Amino acid sequence: MRKLFFTVIKFNFYILTLCCLSNISFAEQNKTNSQTSIKDQNANVHPFPLPITFKQQKKEDLQHYFPSTKVKPILVGTDDYLTLVSLNTSANHKGVAILIPDWQQGATNPKAINFLRKTLPKYGFTTMSIQVDSKPDSFPSTALKLSEQQQANKNIIGAYKMKFYALINAVFEQAKEYPGIIIMIAQGNHGALLIDLLSENTNLTPNGVVLLSSYRLTNDKLLEQANTDFAKNLANIEPPVLDLYLKYDHDIVINKSPQRLTIVKQEMKTYYRQRQLNNMATGFYPEQELLTQIHSWLRAIGW
């Protein structure tokens, strides 16, 4: 009887041991499966957030820091843009000033655009400051041969121009909803692209254009021809032009501004004025002198 008793105890011990080992194995399997599941879920999650585009960053900043009454979305094809609209605050509504910052600059660019955006409404202008696209990738071309650079640049800028032109036309149509004249104030490379647009599209007829340190960027060996074409287009467009640049400015701006003045005189363009403004910080416009130049020019052309 005693032997039978110990045999039963031993058998129960074996059963208990097997159950424990089975439970441990099952728990380990569940843990492994759980870890695998978590690993699979995190497989597509980057350990660090990827950087957003410059354009998207600027859009999010505008939506965050400005009230919705000032931030106006505009859809151009499948692309969405933002404009900052500041309504005229004077008794006399003179018109609309469309503000176009340079590449890599925002709608509140402190070099000149933001000052005009905030100040011109006090003098009778509703301002529409555009958040434009960034400089095209891979521009200017890094190809070894000059002919390859020319072709690559033509393709890149050609695609960029189509989107830029569509945006400017859309904003121009919105500007027509307000009373008064329409002037366009463009900075840097966008100034040159705007002149190209006006020379190609006779349906776009602003009452005046203000260029701020405008020039055409490209490869070194192509700079002369590109900026000569810019000057010729400028001399042949119909709208009056105020061509401003700075004493301390981009080297290309300083070197090519006299060329524009010479070609404009040769073509005898009417209502063209070029002025150099004295500045302390490179690229930053002296605010009051900038405002004075724009006002005196507008009065000179009858506005």
pLDDT, mean of residues 221-243 = 95
Ranges of each domain in the chain: 1-50, 54-300
pTM as predicted: 0.81
Q: Of 48-57, 63-72, 138-147, 157-166, which gets the smallest average pLDDT?
A: 48-57
| Local confidence band at 50 (pLDDT 50, 70, 90 cut-offs) | low
The answer to whether the bond into 239 is cis (omega within 30° of 0) is no
The Cα–Cα gap between 67 and 50 comes to 28
The Cα–Cα gap between 22 and 14 comes to 12
Q: What is the pLDDT of residue 229?
A: 95
68 DSSP assignment: T
- Look over the chain and give the mean of its residue pLDDT values, rounded to a whole number: 84
Tens digit of each residue's pLDDT (9 = 90 or more) over 166-204: 999 999 999 999 999 999 999 999 999 999 999 988 788
148 DSSP assignment: H
Q: What is the pLDDT of residue 69?
A: 75
List the one residue out of 172, 84, 176 whose CA is nearest residue 127: 84
Domain at 54-300, CATH class: alpha beta
Tens digit of each residue's pLDDT (9 = 90 or more) over 243-299: 999 999 999 999 999 999 999 999 999 899 999 999 988 889 999 999 999 999 999
| Local confidence band at 6 (pLDDT 50, 70, 90 cut-offs) | very low
Contact 104, 113 (CB under 8 A): no
Q: Which residues contact 279 (CB under 8 A, 6 or more apart)?
A: 246, 247, 248, 249, 285, 286
CB atoms within 10 A of CB 161: 15
Give yes or no for residue 99 having a pLDDT over 70: yes
Give yes or no for residue 9 having a pLDDT over 50: no
Q: What is the pLDDT of residue 64?
A: 61
Q: What is the pLDDT of residue 38?
A: 45
